[in-house]
Amino acid sequence: MVSILRKAPRLEFLLAAAVISCSTGGGNTSAGTTGGGAGGASSTGGAAGTTGSGARGGTAGNEGTGGAGAAGGAAGTGGTGASGGAPPTDAAGGTGGMVRDASGGSGGANDASADNGTTPRDGSAGSSTADAARGDAPADAAPMEGGARVDAPPGGFSDARSTTHLDIPVHDPAVIWDGARYSLFATGGTLGIRNSSNLLQWSNAGSVFSAMPAWVTAALGADPRDLWAPDVSFFNGKYHVYFAGSTFGSNRSVIGLATNAVLDRTSASYAWVDEGLVVESVSSNNYNAIDPNVSFDETGTPWLSFGSFWDGIKMRRLDAASGKLAASDPTLYSLASRGGGAIEAPSVIAQGGYYYLFVSFDACCKGASSTYRTMVGRATSITGPYVDRAGAQMMKGAAEELLVSTGRYVGPGGGTAYRDGALYFYAYHYYDTQDNGASKLSIRPISFAADGWPKLEEPLFP
């Protein structure tokens, strides 16, 4: 799912996303090759279960090592399905699920993972209208602004644009501005980093980890080979990168945290610290602890949203000092669900008295056959209830459609809505039908209509 988080002069209410997993009911996958090329994928398979079983893909493929501009490696083959467990007491919901069945790429400049695999077909989405909650802001509500912490620098956007198609391979992107550069994090391997001054040209900047954290492998009982859908944010004087690890075939998943005082690799203070486990899910949970994303409420309190398939998007309050779950609030909040169907990649911004929850519906990770689309709902509280224009609740499958496949740009989603100075953007990946379905980066400005609902403008580059 994806997560670009950026730093602005005010508090940012931002969740991100990213990213996204892939699965099919007993399905098979086939992937393209890498090494200067693009890793495309196609898949076939059955539907995910919505009442107790959600079949998933199999083992991950090998990591790609392509050259400049190369996409990641081959996806693994489909495997045995796994079933979700009983829901916890916080909410009822269908089981099901998803898993990322893909490999991470590494290599030269602009190289990134092409997260190729399969995703279960979405389940039925409820669309009941909520009579009591239409998402209207109270007349006396104080205006909210989506931005980063008050100690963050102004935005870095210089209005750089391109009329030339740019091939920037990525899956589940997460970006942040540190006052001098943009840093991009994405799914694959041990979380590679790239830097840019203008969001158009990117260079390699190492990775968060030199090897898979041992605690991740121990918690999952297997080496996940790739870490997924990182989210980057800045609070309490340091950068926080939340990331996911998961077993293929179940919702046995973990979300971890790495921190750094700076993002400038030339600084003596540059050093990633593995802070360990933040939250996990097991088969008895009705949620999947992947696709982490951080946002801030109007008081500056950080919140962690996450989730994919199963009973949808969840949220926990964070302790700003530690970056871990807040002991003062053990509530697991439910934000959006499709009853076990395809929903993931949450991110939140706040603007004009509302919080806006961006998510992705339907199938990612199937290359040119992907059906991902970007959706949004809004609320007057960061914990919801989130609704569409008609007041129908996102917990019942409702949402406003923002972005769908068009032309060569298929399956747009896995993104993050974020604020850059006074501006808002949505960064996401799509699958390029003119390049074997390789996943690539796109960034669109966000505007707001007179009624407050967001619109995605033309991308910064085709």
Residue type, 80: T
Beta-bridge mates of residue 315: 305, 333
Residue 219: φ, ψ to 5°: -65, -35
Residue-wise pLDDT tens digits, 306-354: 999 999 999 999 999 999 999 999 999 999 999 999 999 999 998 999 9
Q: Which alpha helices (DSSP H) does 206-318 contain, by range? A: 214-220
Q: Looking at residue 153, what is its pLDDT? A: 55
Whether 63 is catalytic is no
pLDDT at 31 over 50: no
| 178 in catalytic set | no
Is the pLDDT at 361 greater than 50? The verdict is yes
Q: Which of 51-55, 289-293, 420-424 has the lowest mean pLDDT?
A: 51-55
The per-residue pLDDT for 380 is: 97
Residue 9: pLDDT over 90? no
Q: What is the DSSP letter of 223?
A: -
Domain 1-462, CATH class in plain words: mainly beta
| 162-197 pLDDT per residue, tens | 999 999 999 999 889 999 999 999 999 999 999 999
* Per-residue pLDDT at 422: 84
In this structure, are residues 433 and 403 in contact, taking their beta carbons and an 8 Å threshold? no
So what's the pLDDT on residue 249?
67
The SS3 call for residue 438 is strand
What one-letter code names the amino acid at 458?
E
| Residues 343/360, Cβ–Cβ less than 8 Å | yes
pLDDT (tens digit per residue) in 262-284: 999 999 999 999 999 999 999 99
Q: Tell which wins on pLDDT, 262 or 74.
A: 262
What is this structure's pTM? 0.71
d(CA 295, CA 259): 16
* Domains in the chain: boundaries: 1-462
Q: Could you give the CA distance from residue 66 to residue 74 in angstroms, rounded to a whole number? A: 12
- For residue 100, is pLDDT > 80? no
Question: Which one from 178, 344, 388, 400 is the annotated catalytic residue?
Answer: 344
Q: How far is CA 80 from the centre of its chain?
A: 25
pLDDT of 348: 92
Catalytic-role residue among 172, 291, 311, 388: 172
- Percentage, residues of the chain above pLDDT 70: 66
Is residue 218 predicted with pLDDT exceeding 70?
yes
pLDDT at 49 over 90: no
Instruction: Report the alpha-carbon distance of residue 242 to residue 351 in Å, rounded.
Output: 24
Cβ neighbours, 10 Å, residue 140: 6
Enumerate the β-bridge partners of residue 439: 431
